Structure 1
Amino acid sequence: MTAFGATELLADCGLIVAAGGSSSRFGHGNKLLMDLAGLPVFCHCLRAFLPLLPAGHAVLVVPAVSEPLFAAALAAAGWGERVRLVPGGASRQASVQAGLAALPAAATIVAVQDAARPLATAELLARCVASARACGSGVAAHRVVDTIKAATAEGAVTATPDRRALWAAETPQVFRRDWLAAAYELVARDGLEVTDDAQAVQLAGHPVQLVESQQDNLKITRAADLPLANFILAQRRAEANDVT
């Protein structure tokens, strides 16, 4: 049994972990290689997801110049043979395309995970995969609780959307492989830039189904996010010990 109750081997699922960010808002170094509870940040989603995946079904896409650093971290974690390292492209969407090309044909469902989200759970991945099997897509997201303002570049408010209809997208984002591949071919052909995989799939005319994320799924963006992630992980470990 894996963590958080997910037990099924996802034999039809391939995983692309996108680890090509610039870390410009983090302030120093590569945030994905920073220590978090004894592992580099990027390793945490792999630790959660790998037990659900067949061998050869996980790809880590990294900047070519950083390959040796990521390879060393994978080897230290004991995953050098489980995870294929692939150099990324000039953009996130090009990197996801490179990851798609590296997955085996048996992976007909593809999950894309931001390496900077170390708190995503096996249970969340399993629910997103179930959604993708049923309706072609399953995108982790949480309901917006703040009042959102649309504004001009100068900060003048132009609208207040109804937050009851608003969700914040996270990862994993899981899709039928043929949908995702065709979507990225479309955006590449038309010179479009998307901010997540769901946007590309929607532009290609496919429905996108949200899967509510019910636990903290923090994205490491700034240096202050690391101690918060450490705190959340410590809480989870304590809760797991209480259950056992």
Structure 2
Amino acid sequence: MTGPHPARLTGTSGAALKYDLLTALGAEACAADKHRQRTSLRLMTLITARYDWRSDSLATGQTEIARLWSVDTRTVKREMARLREREWLWLKVPAAKGRVACYGLGIAAILRDTRPVWPAIGPDYVARMAPEPAAPDAPDAGNVVPFAPVVAGQGPWAAICQAFQAGEPGAYAAWIAPLRCAAEGEAGRLVLHAPTGFHESYVRSHYLGELARLARRQGIAAVVLTGPDGVDRGA
């Protein structure tokens, strides 16, 4: 897999995700130094004014961004480069003659970098964004977040997890390992449950296509993803 798949953040869970991301960025900025505050504020302004949540695209020229930020285009180039280095933006389509560059939003990186300030937002936010694992026998790791091991055992879901982790171990640990397999192979379907609506929305937007591809290798025709309410919001 190369870059994130286009996010289609629609419906109730999509709206919640938008506010949760902006809240995380704002809280992280408030806890940072003035230079990082400025970068975060500029990104938040750009997201609010020009980012298309439905297609995960930000296609705005440097001159327009400079006017929005009240800076010159050299500052825009530096800030955009800084945001790419932090992986908060990723280049989808390079600029070309008569066409501006198109960027996607690095949601996983934003969540990774803002996680330390989540407790300052509130325990409800932490519970929503990083629910505790349900396994009762999980060892106490203190403040260390363990790297998710490859799923043991046999069956299609175990094989899919192993293949996914081999390609993207970080994404697997953060987004795939918390999924619960409710049924595999029945009526040619793999049924997965996400722990939260936010988790479901993100996996559906970014990784469901890859999960479906890996499932077809195991002879499974369709992957059904639901949230904690058990509702499949797929098309």
TM-score class normalised by the smaller sequence? under 0.3
> Higher RCO, 1 or 2 (CA under 8 Å, sep at least 6)?
1
Larger strand percent: 1
- Greater Rg, structure 1 or structure 2? 2
More helix by share: 2
